[in-house]
Amino acid sequence: MNKSLRKAVIAGNWKMNKNRAKAKALISELAPLVSDAGCDVVCCVPFTDLETALAAAGGTNIKIGAQNCHWAESGAFTAEISAGMLKEMGVPYVIIGHSERRQYFGETDETVNKRVRAALDAGLTVILCVGELLSQREHNITGEICSMQTKIALNGVSKNELKNIIIAYEPVWAIGTGKTATSEQAGEANGFIRGVVESLYGKEAADALTIQYGGSMNAENAGELLDKEHVDGGLIGGASLKAPDFAAIVKAAGR
């Protein structure tokens, strides 16, 4: 396997942080710091910040993403946003299946799959999150959980469409806890997920798939995590909210 076959992608997941003024300020501060990035740089912002973020990122190498989308094109789904609405705004990326959506908002593998399908149909690039709970790791079923989540989320996704998918392995116990997976744990899980994708789509497609690690990745630990063969980037929460920290991670990915 060759890491150079894959695109490194560092994506920030701002979660429910930053109003429009702060979003504009952060992207403006970040842009010169990452202008020579050796990887793709994405900021996934709250829906209300999308327009501001797209404008602030115009003419830079920063791409903008949303943090979820619904599976229907339109209809009686109060508070939801469709993939087509994002596409029409010029948003290229969307996170789907984040563990906070699964934990707090009742998302299931089936709804994640429906959202993935809708995002692909609309022409968006999907950052698909999978990962186990602490109790599942303790029961030694990390592989089973990641395999199940990956297989169900990719149900009905063709080999060609896989080019528009990035998988983010995010162990739930490492998210926002300051508890990072060791680089060995991250490398092992990412490699396992690549094996699952290989079993579905073959080696060439699996080798070309970008698989990120996410969970308390920061400026200090990014280099070691990103050195692992199967860790092709990161999905960054807390450390994406400060431009110098996020830029340092981008730099680590471009080495």
Residues lying near ligand PGA in the complex (CB under 6 A) are found at: 13, 170, 175-176, 214-217, 235-239
What gap in Å lies between CA 153 and CA 116, rounded to an integer? 7
Pick 67 or 113: Cβ nearer ligand PGA: 67
CB of 66 to ligand PGA, least distance (A): 14
CB of 221 to ligand PGA, least distance (A): 11
Which residues have a catalytic role annotated?
A: 98, 170
Per-residue exposure over 53-86, b if at least 16 CB sit within 10 Å of its own CB, e if not: bbebbeeeebbbbbbbbbbeeeeeeeeebbbbbb
Q: How many residues does the chain have?
A: 255
Q: Which residue is nearest to ligand PGA (CB)?
A: 237
CB of 134 to ligand PGA, least distance (A): 14
Residue 222: closest CA among 205, 234, 212: 234
Pick 32 or 178: Cβ nearer ligand PGA: 178
DSSP 180: P
Pick 119 or 172: Cβ nearer ligand PGA: 172
- The pair of structure tokens assigned to 198 is 């290989």
